[in-house]
């Protein structure tokens, strides 16, 4: 798995318990997943189809830096399936895991359309990547 964007947890990202608000984290993951899918399939004609169970493992606090990792599991005909992990950048503690995120390539009518991609785009082309 390769880790891409980093985020600094700020006071506005916290819940009433003063730990990272799940909604903020999910918004960041949704955006990161979309960017990952677009880069892998080389098209922005994609929609989120499925996000599996989300396991909140550990919390994060203001001042922590987190990083988001993605790994392709499968290239389908119109779909791409990948998994996601968010961890603390410094102590590597897992914050969240998602086993399956599926995006579907669609045509101008919003119907599934083959994307023709069968292999993963190498992470070296993304300068922001941090190998696990
Ligand atoms: C995405 C959408 C076009 C797919 O339509 P559909 O009728 O389910 O299409 P299909 O059954 O042909 O499936 C298309 C692909 O999705 C996959 N798929 C469908 N349902 C799935 C599910 N529940 N889990 C995982 N993959 C799924 C299929 O396996 C297929 O993959 P493949 O082409 O690589 O083999 C349609 O469901 C849709 O428009 N959903 C709304 C998307 C959206 O608005 N997302 C934003 C959410 S906020």
Q: What is the pLDDT of residue 107?
A: 97
How far away, in angstroms, is 105 Cα from ligand 1 center? 9
How far away, in angstroms, is 50 Cα from ligand 1 center? 8
CB 38 within 8 Å of CB 44: yes
Q: pLDDT by residue (tens digit) across 83-129?
A: 999 999 999 999 999 999 999 999 999 999 999 999 988 766 654 45
Secondary structure class of 36 (helix, strand, coil)? helix
% helix, strand, coil for the chain, step of 5: 20, 40, 40
User: Which residue owns the Cα nearest ligand 1 atom 31?
Assistant: 79
Catalogue all structural domains in the chain, each as residue range(s) with its CATH number.
Answer: 2-121 (3.10.129.10)
Q: pLDDT by residue (tens digit) across 16-58?
A: 999 999 999 999 999 999 999 999 999 999 999 999 999 999 9
Question: How much is the pTM?
Answer: 0.92
Within a 10 A sphere around the Cβ of 132, how many other Cβ atoms?
A: 11
- Of all atoms in ligand 1, which is nearest to the CA of residue 75? 34
- Of all atoms in ligand 1, which is nearest to the CA of residue 48? 45
């Amino acid at each position: 798995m390769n880790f891409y964007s980093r985020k600094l947890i700020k006071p506005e990202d916290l819940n009433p318990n003063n730990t990272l608000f799940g909604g903020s984290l999910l918004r960041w993951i949704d955006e990161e997943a979309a960017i990952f899918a677009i880069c892998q399939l080389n098209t922005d004609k994609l929609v989120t189809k499925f996000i599996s169970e989300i396991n909140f493992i550990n919390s994060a606090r203001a001042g922590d830096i987190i990083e988001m990792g993605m790994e392709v599991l499968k290239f389908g005909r119109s779909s791409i399936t990948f998994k996601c992990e968010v961890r603390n950048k410094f102590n590597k503690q897992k914050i969240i895991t998602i086993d399956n995120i599926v995006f579907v390539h669609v045509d101008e009518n919003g119907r599934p359309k083959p994307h023709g991609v069968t292999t993963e785009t190498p992470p070296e082309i993304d300068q922001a990547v941090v190998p696990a």
